[in-house]
Structure 1
Amino acid sequence: MRTPTRTGLSRTMSLLVPVIAWTIDVAHEQMLPEFRTPSLAVSALVFATLYLRGTRPVLVLMVQLAWSAGAWSWPVPWLGVAYPLAGSLVALQALAARRSPALSCGGLAATTIVFFLQLILSESSSWPELLASFVITVTAWALGYRRYAAAAAQDAATSDALRTERLRLARDLHDIVTHAISAIVLQAAGARAVIAADPDRATRALDAIETSSVRAMDELRRLLGLLRSAGGDVTPDLDRQPGLRDIGELLDWARANGLTPATTVRGEPGRLDDFTSLAAYRLVQEGLTNTLKHAGPGTAVELLLHWGDKHLDIRLQDRPSGRRSLGRGRLNSGHGLLGLHERIAVVGGTLRTQPTDDGFVLEARLPLDQHHRNAAAGPASTGRLAA
């Protein structure tokens, strides 16, 4: 688990903490009645290990506790009588901030035992002193654990964000690739069937394959641009992502691949935010792609856009000719509809999919951007749809 990023001030304080802790302990030792001048060099060397507390917190705490226990109990004149506290508390706080609670609780227990033994062996110890020692030790541990918990929460939030982004990218890849490959496969099959008898028709099919391939490459390039922007190299340009204004291109694609789309727009167009507009685009794209795959060319498709005061209702229904409807089978058509449900839910909308007697229907309700309520959706939103 990573620790929170330090600012310049916090780095400076981190460098000063061992010096401050050493100064506090030396000053505390001089107030003891049994004080004999200890070796400041040895004490300074022990406290210098605190500079390793960020990478070796367990080892640093062991050194501090050994010094704290040994300086009190060893009858060595040049060491003097010491009562080190601050170094152990700093090391305990570092351990709690950087290691698991189970391990840091072990450090808390060891530190408490060492401090209690120091007080118990002291002739002037009392219960208030024991209680104060316990409270100070637990406080140092709690301050460290607070940092650990904050870093853990930040890591969890980052992991959730990355997982959400991966799912979004997976849905985008599915929509882009499925949309393009479905058209390519059907057009290639059609071209092969008529290449000898009707070369012009075969040429038109090859042109449609080229158009679908170029459009898919453009969308994949945009998606890769967003991936690169995740590292902070460039600023993501959401305006380059497809949206409701580009649905006219989807309808052109549908016509080129043999579908017969008809569009109805009701109400005064409002404004969708970028992500909701992208979800609307993917909804129509997935519906047209599924129609082409499951119902085939020659299928009539009805697209209804109903603008309300707070919502945009989208209804896409196909009506295959003859008995070619496979609507009921499309309820289990893989990850497309499942990903579409998730995409619509993420932007605060709802989606209903169901087979009908003569086809299949997608119905979605998407929230409008209330900060731009009743704003015009742009010329591309309605002009192309009416074509």
Structure 2
Amino acid sequence: MRLRPFTVDVLLALGQVALLALIGPEASSIGWTELDVRGYALALLVIAPTVVRSKAPLLVCLLTYAIWTVYVAVGYWPVVTSFGPMLCLYTVALQRRTRTTGICAALLAGIWVFGSLVSQDHASVPSVAAQALGVNALVWRLGYLARRSAELARKTRAEQQEQARDAVAEERGRIARELHDVVAHHMSVISVQAGLAKFVFDSDAKTARAALGTISGTSTEALEEMRRMLRVLRAQEDDGEAPDAPMPGLARIGDMTDRVRAGGVPVEFRVRGTPRPIAPGVELCAYRVVQEALTNVLKHARQASATVELHYHRDYIEVSVTDNGEGVIPDRVRSPGGHGLIGMRERAKLYGGTISIGPRSVGGFAVRLTLPTSARFAPPGDDANE
């Protein structure tokens, strides 16, 4: 059970009173003035302020020093009440700057030496002075180290909280990107096919059925990806549970282009180089960028045709999505409230890749992504246009 600071101060004050009762009667036996009623009253006055030392450390310290000086000047044994002033010095060192603490330590040492002079035993002054400097320096050092430790602990907690906030923000961004990629692409296909089915429902039943079939397959795939993502989010690190559906990767780009083609946009998919296993994160990044690029074609350039090209190099892969849409549609570059292009750039940066997004000099739009598969690879710089 953790005690409150005031409770600790009260207990320490009671401990000083107990010490006074135990060794106070021994003062006369070692040559000091016997503690009488006045002596005990002054001793209790030295102890009393320490009850609130945590609330006003510097004020309590100076008040205690003043009363202790009177106690010593009268000729009473300083050791009986020395714990209170040293406790006040420790508290000041714990809560105040080094300069203030040094002044308080010097004052306490001076009172300590003054007590030796009052005792008429001048031969012991050097010894008492050395003790005063040594003991007070130790008390000051302990308080200083405790203050530094407390500051370090507060700084560490603040850094941990900042790291936790950053981790939460990063995770929210990742979830937002995944939700955007899953929902935006599939809903775009569903919207196009639903419009087509409605348009030809009475005149071309075969086309309408094909459109409804595409809607059914696309919605099923969207639900599967949503369930997979939710299973990943709900899974605990130590429960051994893993999603049973694989993460979308390069092998599924062909299925995606087929789905977009069914949505009314002619898409050609080409693979160059020798396919090989790639890290799942890199594959997911490439898949999502292609998905977002084709979604933009569906939404903004439905009359255009598109080409998706996947090129396997030795140390990196290169993915491009180009279309031949007429002119440059501003919404494709910057859409109010849209996060698709931002998400693509964040994904590329996360995996150490580069991405260029912009209109082509020959017309249309292009998205080119380069992702390293080797630590030795240094990706080329971005180019805005073809």
Answer whether TM exceeds 0.5 for this pair: yes
Corresponding letter in the other structure for 1:185? S
What amino acid sits opposite 1:179 in the alignment? H
In the TM superposition, what whole-angstrom CA distance separates every residue of 1:131-177 from its partner, at most 9, and x where no partner exists?
Answer: 55444332221122222222222222221111111111111111111
Kindly indicate whether the alpha-carbon contact (under 8 Å) linking 2:90 and 2:142 is maintained by their aligned counterparts in 1. Answer: no
Which residue in the other structure is 1:54 paired with? none
Distance in 1 separating the partners of 2:218 and 2:105: 75
1:121 corresponds, among 103, 111, 117, to 111
2:350 aligned residue: 346
Tell me the residue number matched to 2:83. Answer: 83
Alignment of 1:324-335 (within 5 A): 326-327=328-329, 329-333=331-335, 334-335=338-339
Q: Which moved more, 1:281-290 or 1:141-150?
A: 141-150
Q: Distance in 1 between matches of 2:142 and 2:207?
A: 86
Deviations 1:334-384 (A, max 9, x none): 32112111111111110001112332111011011559xxxxxxxxxxxxx
Distance across 1 between alignment mates of 2:309 and 2:257: 13
Decide whether the 8 Å contact of 2:61 with 2:89 is kept in 1.
no
Give the 3 Å change call, closer, same or farther, for CA 133–318 of structure 1 in structure 2. Answer: same
Task: Give distance in 1, aligned partners of 2:33 and 2:370.
Answer: 79
State the partner residue of 1:355: 359
State how 1:108-147 maps to structure 2 within 5 Å.
Answer: 117-123=107-113, 124=128, 128-129=133-134, 132-147=138-153
2:340 to 336, 342, 346: 336
What is the CA-CA distance between 1:261 and the residue it aligns to? 2.1
Distance 2:216 2:267 in 1: 21
CA distances 1:17-47 after superposition (whole Å, capped 9, x unpaired): x9xx98xx99x998x9989999xxx9xxx9x
Measured in 2, the distance between the counterparts of 1:92 and 1:157 equals 33
SS in 2 for 1:240: coil
Instruction: Select between 242-251 and 159-168 the one with higher mean Cα deviation.
Output: 242-251
Q: Is the CA contact (8 Å cut-off) linking 2:64 and 2:84 kept in structure 1?
A: no
RMSD of equivalent CA atoms: 4.4
CA distance, structure 2, for counterparts of residue 181 and residue 364 of structure 1: 24
- Kindly indicate whether the alpha-carbon contact (under 8 Å) linking 1:273 and 1:369 is maintained by their aligned counterparts in 2: no
On the 8 A contact 2:293/2:367 being kept in 1, the answer is: yes
Output the amino acid matched with 1:332. R
Q: Cα–Cα, structure 1 residues 69 and 216, in superposed 2: closer, same or farther, change >3 Å?
A: farther
Q: 1:140 to 1:250 in 2, by over 3 A?
A: same
Asked whether the equivalents of residues 68 and 83 of structure 1 are also in contact (C-alpha less than 8 Å), the reply is no
Amino acid in the other structure paired with 1:308: H
Question: Is the Cα–Cα contact under 8 Å of residues 71 and 81 in structure 1 kept in the other structure?
Answer: no
1:253 and 1:316 mapped to 2: Cα distance? 15
Corresponding residue of 2:292? 286
Is the radius of gyration larger for structure 1 or structure 2? 2
TM-score (norm 1): 0.67
Q: Judge conservation of contact 2:101–2:140 (CA < 8 Å) in 1.
A: no
Deviation at 1:267, TM superposition (A): 2.0
Give the distance between the partners of 2:185 and 2:278, measured in 1 at CA: 23
> Is 2:181 the counterpart of 1:175?
yes
Question: Which portions of structure 1, spanning 4 or more consecutive aligned residues, are displaced by more than 4 angstroms?
Answer: 32-38, 63-77, 84-93, 108-117, 124-133, 230-239, 325-329
Cα distance between partner residues in 1 of 2:247 and 2:85: 60
Contact 1:261/1:303 (CA < 8 Å) preserved in 2? Answer: yes
What's the secondary structure of 2:286's corresponding residue? helix
Which residue type is aligned with residue 319 of structure 1?
N
Shift in CA distance, 259/112, structure 1 to aligned 2, threshold 3 Å: same
Match of 1:251 in 2: 257
Whether the 8 Å CA contact 2:309–2:320 is kept in 1: the answer is: yes
User: Per-residue deviation at 1:63?
Assistant: 9.2
The residue correspondences of 1:1-387 to structure 2 (distance < 5 A) are 61-62=54-55, 73=67, 80-84=80-84, 105=96, 117-123=107-113, 124=128, 128-129=133-134, 132-229=138-235, 235=241, 237=243, 240-296=246-302, 299-320=304-325, 323=326, 326-327=328-329, 329-333=331-335, 334-356=338-360, 357-368=362-373
Larger RCO of the pair (alpha carbons < 8 Å, separation 6+): 1
Counterpart residue identity of residue 190, structure 2 = I
Cα 1:208–1:239, aligned 2, differ >3 Å: closer, same or farther? closer
Of stretches 83-92 and 357-366 in structure 1, the one that deviates more from structure 2 is 83-92
Unaligned runs of 5+ in 2: 2-7, 114-127, 377-386
Identity over aligned residues, as a percent?
A: 28
- In structure 1, runs of 5+ residues without a counterpart are 1-10, 12-17, 50-58, 96-103, 372-387
**What SS does structure 2 have at the residue aligned with 1:312?**
strand
- Separation in 2, partners of 1:142, 1:116: 21
Contact 1:272–1:367 at 8 Å: present in 2 too? no
Residue 338 to residue 238, structure 1, CA distance change in 2 (3 Å): farther
TM-score (norm 2): 0.67
CA shift in 2, pair 1:92/1:67, >3 Å? closer
CA distance in 2, matches of 1:202, 1:220: 27
Aligned partner of residue 122 in structure 1, secondary structure: helix
Residue 105 of structure 2 contacts residue 137 of structure 2 at CA under 8 Å; is this kept in 1? no
| Amino acid of the structure 2 residue aligned with 1:121 | I
